[in-house]
Amino acid sequence: MLPVMMTTKITGDFQHWASVGQQRIEARLQTLLPSADLAPQRLHQAMRYAVLGAGKRVRPLLAFAAGELTEAGPGRVALAGGAVELIHAYSLVHDDLPCMDDDVLRRGRPTCHVEFDEATALLVGDALQSLAFQVLAENCLTDDASAQLEMVRLLAAASGSRGMAGGQAIDLAAIGKSLTLPELEFMHIHKTGAIIRAATLLGARCGTALADAELHKLDHFAKCIGLAFQVIDDVLDAEATTATLGKTAGKDAQNNKPTYVSALGVGEARKLATQLHQDALAALDGFGERALRLRQLADFVVMRKF
Ligand code: GRG
């Protein structure tokens, strides 16, 4: 069951749009993933378990919203957003492994290695990552072949050692230490922000090309939202319940991890998220109505309760 995008300020119109997007991406992921009865069945069952039926799908929704800026076809954006969601799902499976965050609950269910086993969970992550790039390589996502190659490069860079994997390495090395705010920002721009940025840029690249200045503004929007997403993630880890989050609450403090809450306290962390939200919205000035969904997603990111 996909989570419903409910916040205090978000309108019914946005909820409907988000729900349509969630269903579209769910249907796309269903067909992108190998069937569970195809050999090796256990691996394919575990891949489907890790990806389908849950998750907020924030990254594909960002891709759809950015695609609306460039009049991209939703079918193409679903493929690009699906590829990003496969990378995201792989990162969650690996992050939950005993050698990393060692967690038993994800998206309201047992984590992949608990439901299956560690070796299978490792392979699930590997195979989801490969599948993401296969999806980008074997489908037509834009009429411009060089733009499509750039999309492959973007996602590879965002997920590699100078992106998400690098951010995760910094995160693991920081356990038990305190980081300065610039160090925290550097870690999260990589660990969480890089994939959120990639989702936004890939969605936009499925449509007509943006001018460099517009692309720069969209990238700045995504950078602010990626960081705001993490600041709120830290706040929710400290304030929300395990039942609401669908993952173990309070893990950051329990694992002695430096976070925006440990560095600033909840009140100041929320203020930082509000500032990032405003910066993100300011970056969209000049895009007009075409950026409506991006603005609403920015609202959702800072007001979310899960
Ligand atoms: C293992 C290479 C590697 C990277 C792991 C994503 C990640 C890096 C770790 C996850 C740990 C974590 C809680 C990060 C904070 C932000 C984040 C990515 C939260 C989970 O994303 P949501 O809230 O999850 O979008 P859903 O389940 O809704 O998709």
Q: Where are the domains of the chain?
A: 27-303
pLDDT per position as a tens digit, 63-86: 999 999 999 999 999 999 999 999
pLDDT per position as a tens digit, 232-265: 999 999 988 888 888 888 888 888 889 999 999 9
Nearest residue (by CA) to ligand 1, atom 19, is 233
Q: Taking 50 as the threshold, does the pLDDT of residue 8 lie above it?
A: no
pLDDT of 61:
98
Phi, psi dihedrals of residue 110, rounded to the nearest 5°: -55, 140
Instruction: Retrieve residue 12's tokens.
Output: 């019914």
Q: Taking 80 as the threshold, does the pLDDT of residue 11 lie above it?
A: no
Q: Which CATH architecture has domain 27-303?
A: Orthogonal Bundle (1.10)
Q: Is 217 in the pocket of ligand 1 (CB under 6 A)?
A: no
Q: Is 233 in the pocket of ligand 1 (CB under 6 A)?
A: yes
Mean pLDDT rounded to a whole number for the chain:
94
Nearest residue (by CA) to ligand 1, atom 4, is 91
The share of the chain scoring above pLDDT 90, in percent, equals 88
Average pLDDT rounded to a whole number, residues 107-120: 97
Q: Is 249 in the pocket of ligand 1 (CB under 6 A)?
A: no
Q: Taking 70 as the threshold, does the pLDDT of residue 10 lie above it?
A: no
Q: Taking 80 as the threshold, does the pLDDT of residue 152 lie above it?
A: yes
pLDDT of 6:
47
Mutate to test the pocket of ligand 1, among 113, 129, 162, 192 (most ligand atoms within 8 A of CB): 192
